[in-house]
Amino acid sequence: MQSSQNTKPNVVLVLMDNLGWGELGVYGGGIIRGAATPRLDKLASEGFRALNFNVEAQCTPSRAALLTGRYAVRTGNGTVPLFTPVYGLTRWEVTMAEMLSDVGYATGIFGKWHLGDSPGRYPTDQGFDEWYGIPNSTDESFWPQSSRFRPGVSPLAKPEYIMESRKGEAPKNVKVYDLNERPMIDRELTERAVEFMRRQVAAKKPFFAYIPYTLVHFPVVPETAFKGRTGNGDFADVLAEVDDYVGRLLDCIDQLDVRDNTIFIFTSDNGPDMTEPYHGFAGPWRGTYFTSAEGSLRVPFLMRWPGQIPSGSVSNEIVHEMDLFPTLARIVGGKLPGDRIIDGIDQLDFLSGKQERSNRESVIVYVGNDLFGVKWRNWKMMTKVLWKGYGEPVQEYNTPLFFDLHADPKEEHPTEPHVAQDLWVRFPIAEALAAHLASLKAEPPIPPGTPDPYTPAPRTQ
């Protein structure tokens, strides 16, 4: 048994892949999506539920921002890699796992990494003690069985493997990640995470279990035990599967008697997919991932810490995934790196109910490396918009569009008819944007594809 008075809290961070804001029952989905989500709905009632939790618009940028507490453009990860032979986090970056490891945590990752697939850039090079999962993306599971796949034509055109590694060792290929393994991998990740937590509790060591599941990224294929369970199609079956896996993690925490001393976080890397027939649901928000719309940027976020975060708390205040790094650092007594800009903001007092307002009022909106606009409170100022991803044209405007997300959640009615009464919002928005642009001059972003070793230029004032 772990005493919450005598030990640092464990941290379990579940990150879904392309799970939209509106999928869970507690966010208006669940049975209207064909599958109830009772375990996740109950989790929401036991802690904090965010209605305005913001992320980056794509997989790699979002994971980079989450783990470094920095906008992805700063780390050279603003875009999903397509043609860059070297990508991901440079070794110079300091990750959440490194911060937690430095204060005595056992750190394990079970799932999708997507922040580098070359020597020196795997999870166990970036602060994790152990890893089991995939280096890149689940769409690569199509390749091995495709008649059009030509392995060997390039050293980069190769099947993706499920890999395993420990700190200080080179990762090993366990098995090819193909359409046979795709439906079963998340069950394996759950079992590995449970086993990791059991080991650490037995060793009386605080742990960080980072579980970036591959669901619900396409291809959406339920595992054998869930195939046909709902009678409402593959996506509904997979939604039930997600709820079950999270329930197993929660049950393990209870069985280990560490519930009161474990911070449990559930969220997603970005909004839902737009690809037929794997498209997801963003609830009341417009758009999908790869866009600048709220459906891309807002995702579910649940956080439970018994006795520290009030049960049943709900807020529409702005929070960003980058805020988790400094918030957790404060909780565990970890240090933030002082030699670089950290964009995340400590939100502990807000999450714990000591204050009503978030410490964050604004978010800079990027799609890839392109700056599209700014969110400030309930307003959004956009100089560019991208309503659909995958090659759709970006619409650019000489005069910015302003959206009031209270009155216009689907971003269909920019405020031209009300410019006289609403244009005052340009001043606080411009201040937030100017501060961000100044920070990019003071500390120039790392160019995408930068190899190691990376040494930053001296910062300017």
| Active-site amino acid positions | 59, 114
SS (H, E, C) the chain: CCCCCCCCCEEEEEEECCCCCCCCHHHCCHHHHCCCCHHHHHHHHCCEEEEEEECCCCHHHHHHHHHHCCCHHHHCCCCCCCCCCCCCCCCCCCCHHHHHHHCCCEEEEEEECCCCCCCCCCHHHCCCCEEEEECCCHHHHHHHHCCCCCCCCCCCCCCCEEEEEECCCCCEEEEECCCCCCCCHHHHHHHHHHHHHHHHHHCCCCEEEEEECCCCCCCCCCCCCCCCCCCCCHHHHHHHHHHHHHHHHHHHHHHCCCHHHEEEEEEECCCCCCCCCCCCCCCCCCCCCCCCCHHHHEEEEEEECCCCCCCCEEECCCEEHHHHHHHHHHHHCCCCCCCCCCCCCCCHHHHCCCCCCCCCCEEEEEECCEEEEEEECCEEEEEEECCCCCCCCCEEEEEEEEEECCCCCCCCCCCHHHHHHHHHHHHHHHHHHHHHHHHHHHCCCCCCCCCCCCCCCCCCC
